[in-house]
Amino acid sequence: MKFKVVVTPEARDDLYELYDYISEHGSPQRAMAYVERIEKACLSLQTLPNRGMLREDLRPGLRVMGFERWASIAFRVGSDTVAILRILYGGRSAERAFRRSV
């Protein structure tokens, strides 16, 4: 069974910010190549969605998968979809991104 991969607005914003950062500190070509590799990794969840570390302590059903040492892909697997919730880069942690407000 193939799952449908859906990218949330927050994750899309994360990708735009990441592109801008790498483009500013490197080059637009390098930034685009990196973002495309992240997108490819997200799409790979169509066939093997239950990868990464389960982080029930932060949010029910949350999984976090590392990407090329500096980024993490945070997602949730549903019955037939995988929702990409956030793309965390560098020092951005899942704990801070998914901290529950009290």
72: domain CATH number is: 3.30.2310.20
When divided into structural domains, the chain yields a total of 1
Average pLDDT score over the chain = 90
Grouping H, G, I as helix, E, B as strand and the rest as coil, residue 96 is helix
Rounded CA separation 99/102 (Å): 9
Q: Is the pLDDT of residue 102 over 50?
A: no
pLDDT at 101 over 50: no
In a domain, 71, yes or no: yes
At 5, list the tokens.
């991969």
Look up the domain containing 28 and give its range: 4-92
- Reported confidence tier of residue 89, pLDDT bands at 50, 70, 90: confident
Percent of the chain topping pLDDT 70: 88
The string of pLDDT tens digits covering residues 36-82 is 999 999 999 999 999 999 998 888 999 999 999 889 999 999 999 99
In a domain, 97, yes or no: no
